[in-house]
Amino acid sequence: MPKIFAMKNSRNVFVLLFVHATLCLERVRWCTVSQQELSKCNDMRKAFAGAGILPPLECTEGASAADCTQMIKDYLADAVTLNGRLIYQAGKEHGLKPVVGEVYDQEIGTSYYAVAVVKKGSNITINSLKGITSCHTGINRTAGWNVPVGYLIDSGRLTAMGCDLPKAVSEYFNASCVPGANSVNYPKSLCQLCKGDLSGQNKCQGNSQEQYYDYSGAFRCLAEDAGAVAFVKHSTVPEYTDGKTLSSWAQNLRSQDFQLLCRDGTTADVTEWRTCHLARIPARAVVVRPDTDGTVVFQLLNQGQQRFNGAGTKFQMFDSTAYGAQNLIFRDSTTELVAITSQNYKAWLGDEYLHAMEGLSCDPNTLPESLNWCVVSTEEIWKCGEMATAFRKKNLKPEIQCISAKTKEECMELIQKKESDVVTLGGADIYTAGKTYGLVPAAGESYSADDNSNAYYAVALVKRNPSNAFTISDLKGKKSCHTGLGRTAGWNIPIGMLMKKGIIKPRDCNIPQAVSEFFSASCVPSANQDNYPSKLCQLCIGDDSGNNKCSASSQERYYSYSGAFRCLAQDSGDVAFVKHSTVFENTDGKNTESWARNLKSSDFQLLCRNGARAEVTQFAQCHLAQVPAQAIMVHPDTNIFAVYGLLDKAQDYFGNDSNGNGFKMFDSSTFQGKNLIFKDSAVEIVPVKERRTYKEWLESEYIESLEGMQTPQCSGSGNKLIQQHLLVTTVVSFLILYQLQDLD
Ligand X SMILES: *[C@@H]1O[C@H](CO)[C@@H](O)[C@H](O)[C@H]1NC(C)=O
Note the residues at the interface with ligand X (CB under 6 A). Answer: 122-123, 131, 139-140, 174-175, 180
Nearer to ligand X, 490 or 645 (CB): 645
- Considering the complex, state which of residue 165 and residue 495 has its C-beta at the smaller distance from ligand X: 165
Which 3 state secondary structure label does DSSP give 339? strand
CB of 620 to ligand X, least distance (A): 26
Least spacing, CB of residue 104 vs ligand X, in Å:
25
548 dihedral zone (left: phi>0; alpha: psi -120 to 50; beta): left
d(CA 102, CA 690): 31
User: Residue 59 belongs to what H/E stretch?
Assistant: strand 57-61
- The residue (of 140 and 513) whose beta carbon lies closer to ligand X is 140
What's phi and psi for 626, nearest 5 deg? -100, 130
Q: What Cα–Cα distance (Å) separates residue 133 from each residue in 127, 136, 165, 189?
A: 14, 10, 17, 10
C-beta of residue 315 within 8 angstroms of C-beta of residue 44: yes
CA atoms within 13 Å, Cβ hemisphere of 369: 0
The nearest distance, CB 87 to ligand X, in angstroms, is 16
For ligand X, the closer CB: 139 or 430 = 139
CB of 206 to ligand X, least distance (A): 6
In the complex, least distance from residue 215 CB atom to ligand X, rounded to whole angstroms: 18
Largest CA distance in the chain: 106
Q: Which of 482, 495, 489 is nearest to 453 (CA)?
A: 489
For the residues of 82-113, what is the DSSP string, one character each?
A: E-HHHHHHHHHHH--EEEEEEE-SSSTTEEEE
CA-to-CA distance for 498 and 509, rounded, in angstroms? 14
Distance between CA 94 and CA 102 in Å, rounded? 22
Nearest CB to ligand X, comparing residues 142 and 630: 142
The sign one gets for the Cα dihedral 58, 64, 68, 74 is negative
To ligand X, the closest distance from the beta carbon of 122 in angstroms equals 5
Q: Which is nearer to ligand X, 57 or 152 (CB)?
A: 152
Nearer to ligand X, 227 or 294 (CB): 227
From the CA atom positions of the chain, what is the Rg in Å?
32
Task: Output the smallest distance, CB 228 to ligand X, in A.
Answer: 8
- Shortest Cβ distance from residue 658 to ligand X (Å)? 23
- Report the nearest approach of ligand X to the CB of residue 618 (Å): 30
Cβ proximity of 600 and 593 under 8 Å:
no
Nearer to ligand X, 149 or 329 (CB): 149
Q: Which is nearer to ligand X, 165 or 329 (CB)?
A: 165
Which residues does 572 contact at the CB level (< 8 Å), separation at least 6?
A: 479, 481, 523, 539, 541, 558
What are the residues facing 445 on neighbouring strands?
685
